[in-house]
Amino acid sequence: MSSEIRTVRPVLRAAVSAVVLAVAVLAGLAAPALAAPAHAASSQAASAQVTAGQAASLPADTVGQIAKGLLGSRLYVTTDSGANLSAADQQQVRSALDGDHDADIRAVVVRNDVSGPQVGQMLKAVANRVGKGQTYVAITADGTRMGGISKKLDTNEINQLVTRTDGSPLKQRLIQFGNLAEKKVDDKAKSGAVVGYVVIGVLIVIAAAVTSVVLVARKRRRERHARQMADLKQGVQEDVTLLGEDIARLDLNVMDPGLDPDTRADYERAMNSYDKAKTATERAQKPQDMQAVTTALEDGRYYMTATRARLAGEPVPERRPPCFFNPQHGPSVQDVTWAPPGGVARSVPACAADARAVLEGGDPDVRMVPYGDARRPYWDAGPAYAPYAGGYYYGYGGFDLLSGLLLGTALGSMMGGGFGWGGGYYGDGFGGDGFGGGDGGFGGDGGDVGGGWDFGSGDFGGGGGDWGGNDFGGF
């Protein structure tokens, strides 16, 4: 038994030694392998620290540099942003933004630690320097925060687009934002066009209605004036005819050598006045033309009165205004106090017969003129008869005299209100996006949003503060 043990022990020792040797060998081989991952991790950390240190040590881009970069490109990646965008990625973003013609976007990639107010001031200043483009956006290098200013999108719309693109990587988020902004701008343009067409349609309908009303009103006014002119012309022709009949009844032979020269002269003046009045009546086209007719009739009436006085051997009467009640009666002989029905008493010139009637409490022989299907006193026959009356009193103060004589009458109220004849009552019826400088621009670098820009802070949030001269410069 002991011999067997003795025989076994050497074998055991050899086996233990072999095991120990094998463990030692294995431990020696494993040590380098275990050390490798730790060395790799420390190397990566060191590399990251170097990269971060390099980005932090890079100088910040100025507003001028960013603006110059965006003059010929729609994407600018700031030097200190540390953005992980390859040249191919940047070109893909630029190509996508180039296709967004209506939104007209320019994008700036910035550091991750910038604030909303800084972004807003930077974008305003850059847009002012660039002088073109409708939308400017800024996005952090990690793609997590985004904001912008726009002339085509309001603040709420910018923030909505920012929210819809949230969560996408940097490159995809810029491209997606551009696509959404382009669609939003196009939709607004179409909606605006529809509204514009509707407004134009409504305006056309309104214009047509107004034009129709104006044309109808003008037609009615002209028809009314035509009827009034016809009435007036009829009344004036009655006065002309009456003077002609009066001259014919006298039937003087102006060629008679025994006729008194003064009588002949007055009679010839009366006939000339009649001819003048008749011709003027035939040529009259509007109420104002009738003033010349009645001025000539007043002359003819006076010279007929003077002729009769000379033939009767009586003194030639004083030249006075025509009889107010009826100018056909010729010159007045005295003034009497008279008041129209319900009116104020005033002194008016009257012929002998009408003066006697008024003084005795009777009614004077009033000139009744055509008015529609009836007749009215000429002072109540409407504005068409104003030139008719004015011509009779032209040499005696004209309308100034008549405004007092006709006080309280329809014609008098119009004369008192400054009634005019030349082209008066009957005149017509018978006859930016650019930014620029100054007030429309942004002000200075970092000034207030101007020129129609809306700022959407997006992921950056609100708050005060400036972009900071140390970050972008030029402020």
Largest CA distance in the chain: 207
Q: Which residue, chain included where needed, has tokens 């994407």?
A: 75
**pTM score of the predicted model:** 0.49
* Predicted confidence (pLDDT) at residue 349 exceeds the cutoff of 70: yes
Residue 168 sits in the same domain as residue 94: yes
Domain count within the chain? 3
DSSP 344: -
3-state SS assignment for residue 433: coil
3-state SS assignment for residue 24: helix
Query: Residue 430 burial (CB < 10 Å; 0-12/13-18/19+)?
Result: middle
Of 296, 324, 323, the C-alpha closest to 404 is 324
Residue 302 sits in the same domain as residue 405: no
Mean pLDDT calculated for residue range 342-368 = 94
Question: Between 461 and 203, whose confidence is greater?
Answer: 203
Q: In degrees rounded to 5, what are phi and psi of residue 16?
A: -65, -45
Instruction: Kindly state the helix (H) or strand (E) to which residue 402 belongs, with its residue range.
Output: helix 398-405
| CATH code where residue 162 lies | 3.10.310.50
Residue 170 sits in the same domain as residue 263: no
3-state SS assignment for residue 441: coil
pLDDT band for 447, please (50, 70, 90 cuts).
very low
Residue 268, in any domain of the structure: yes
pLDDT value of position 343 = 82
pLDDT value of position 411 = 63
Residue 151, in any domain of the structure: yes
* Predicted confidence (pLDDT) at residue 138 exceeds the cutoff of 90: yes
Residue 455, in any domain of the structure: no
In tens, the pLDDT along 12-32 reads 454 445 444 444 433 443 333
Q: Of 263, 295, 317, at which residue does a domain stop? A: 317
DSSP 322: B
* Predicted confidence (pLDDT) at residue 395 exceeds the cutoff of 60: yes
Q: By the 8 A CB rule, do 321 and 299 touch?
A: no
Q: Of 298, 317, 336, at which residue does a domain stop? A: 317
CA distance 278 to 237: 8
pLDDT band for 101, please (50, 70, 90 cuts).
confident
Residue 388 sits in the same domain as residue 325: yes
Residue 239, in any domain of the structure: no
pLDDT value of position 324 = 95
Instruction: Kindly state the helix (H) or strand (E) to which residue 464 belongs, with its residue range.
Output: none
3-state SS assignment for residue 409: coil
pLDDT value of position 247 = 93
DSSP 316: P
pLDDT value of position 405 = 72
Q: By the 8 A CB rule, do 332 and 323 touch?
A: yes
* Predicted confidence (pLDDT) at residue 134 exceeds the cutoff of 70: yes
Residue 337 sits in the same domain as residue 410: yes
Residue 293 sits in the same domain as residue 364: no
Q: Which of 80-89, 204-213, 221-230 has the lowest mean pLDDT?
A: 80-89
Question: Between 349 and 446, whose confidence is greater?
Answer: 349
What single string gives the DSSP state of each residue in 31-70? Answer: HHHHHHHHHHHHHHHHHHHHHHHHHHHSPPPPHHHHHHHH
Task: Tally Cβ neighbours within 10 Å of residue 221.
Answer: 13
pLDDT band for 250, please (50, 70, 90 cuts).
confident
Instruction: Kindly state the helix (H) or strand (E) to which residue 414 belongs, with its residue range.
Output: helix 410-416
CA distance 167 to 181: 17
pLDDT value of position 460 = 58
Mean pLDDT calculated for residue range 146-163 = 92
Could you tell me the residue range of the domain that residue 78 belongs to? 63-187
Mean pLDDT across the chain: 78
CA distance 391 to 385: 10
Helix axes 116-130, 63-71, angle to 10 degrees: 50
Residue 440, in any domain of the structure: no
Amino acid at 100: D
Where are the alpha helices (H) located in 58-115, listed in sequence order? Answer: 63-71, 87-98
Residue 100, in any domain of the structure: yes
Q: By the 8 A CB rule, do 239 and 294 touch?
A: yes
Mean pLDDT calculated for residue range 94-103 = 91
Residue 257 sits in the same domain as residue 282: yes
Residue 300 sits in the same domain as residue 324: no
Residue 306 sits in the same domain as residue 379: no
Residue 338 sits in the same domain as residue 366: yes
CA distance 289 to 280: 8
Mean pLDDT calculated for residue range 70-97 = 91
Question: Between 464 and 280, whose confidence is greater?
Answer: 280
Q: Of 414, 430, 455, at which residue does a domain stop? A: 414
* Predicted confidence (pLDDT) at residue 434 exceeds the cutoff of 50: no
3-state SS assignment for residue 336: strand
Mean pLDDT calculated for residue range 285-301 = 96
Q: Which of 109-113, 164-168, 300-304, 415-419 has the lowest mean pLDDT?
A: 415-419
In tens, the pLDDT along 15-74 reads 445 444 444 433 443 333 333 333 433 443 333 343 444 444 456 788 999 999 999 999
109-123, 355-369, 378-392 — most confident range:
355-369
pLDDT band for 189, please (50, 70, 90 cuts).
confident
pLDDT value of position 70 = 95
Using alpha carbons, list the distances in angstroms from residue 188 to 100, 195, 203, 279, 349: 15, 10, 22, 71, 78
User: Between the CA atoms of 384, 425, 409 and 242, what dihedral angle is there, to the nearest 10 degrees?
Assistant: -20
* Percent of residues, the chain, with pLDDT higher than 70: 72
pLDDT value of position 414 = 54
* Predicted confidence (pLDDT) at residue 125 exceeds the cutoff of 70: yes
Residue 282 sits in the same domain as residue 349: no
Residue 308, in any domain of the structure: yes
Angle at 96 between CA 157 and CA 454, to 5 degrees: 25
In tens, the pLDDT along 318-333 reads 999 999 999 999 999 9
Residue 388 φ/ψ region, left for φ over 0, alpha for ψ in the -120 to 50 degree band, beta for the rest: alpha
Residue 349 sits in the same domain as residue 297: no
Residue 44, in any domain of the structure: no
Residue 219 φ/ψ region, left for φ over 0, alpha for ψ in the -120 to 50 degree band, beta for the rest: alpha
CA distance 66 to 213: 61
